[in-house]
């Protein structure tokens, strides 16, 4: 178990570097804050100081130039934002209202058929990020 001060310092370094990398833009800064909070509050999480240090280097490189690191970070933020929107969205088929009986004037929502792909949309993406983390020694999410 690392010392509490090491955790706090790593959290602050990652947050500062992440905010600089996204230039404090509104949707991205909240995504970076939320992801860091989630990861640092996870009781099953394992803190690795070397990975955190390399991730800070990666974020600093993303802040310095609009190269590959910046594009990767931009896409990470975009996918996290899209996932958050999908979780709170109501499927369009659920928005369609159908009248069942003219006399009773009862309205029901149409039921959406079971979707076999639901929940597996981001498997390939998650595996790609995991391989990137393993090959570069990073802790991106």
Tens digit of pLDDT for each residue in 51-109? Answer: 999 999 999 999 999 999 999 999 999 999 988 887 776 665 555 555 455 555 555 55
Look at residue 121 in the predicted model and tell me its pLDDT. Answer: 79
| Residue in 121, 120, 122, 95 with CA at minimum distance from that of residue 108 | 95
In the chain, domain spans = 4-136
Residue 52 to residue 15: CA distance in whole angstroms: 11
Whole-structure pTM value: 0.77
Is the pLDDT reported for residue 46 higher than 70?
yes
CA distances from 50 to 10, 22, 35, 42, 117 (A): 10, 23, 19, 19, 37
Question: Residues with Cβ < 8 Å from 16, sequence gap 6 or more?
Answer: none
């Amino acid at each position: 178990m690392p010392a509490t001060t090491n955790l706090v310092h790593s959290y602050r370094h990652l947050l500062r570097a992440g905010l600089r990398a996204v230039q404090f833009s509104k949707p991205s800064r909240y995504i970076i804050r939320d992801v860091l909070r989630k990861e640092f509050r996870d009781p099953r999480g394992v803190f690795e100081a070397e990975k955190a240090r390399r991730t800070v280097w990666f974020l600093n490189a993303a802040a310095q130039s609009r190269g590959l690191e910046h594009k990767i970070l931009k896409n990470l933020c975009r996918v996290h934002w899209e996932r958050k929107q999908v979780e709170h969205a109501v499927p369009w088929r659920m928005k369609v209202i159908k009248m069942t009986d003219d006399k009773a004037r009862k309205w029901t929502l149409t039921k959406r058929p079971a979707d076999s792909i639901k929940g597996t949309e981001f498997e390939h993406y998650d595996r790609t990020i995991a391989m990137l983390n393993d090959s570069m020694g990073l802790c991106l999410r």
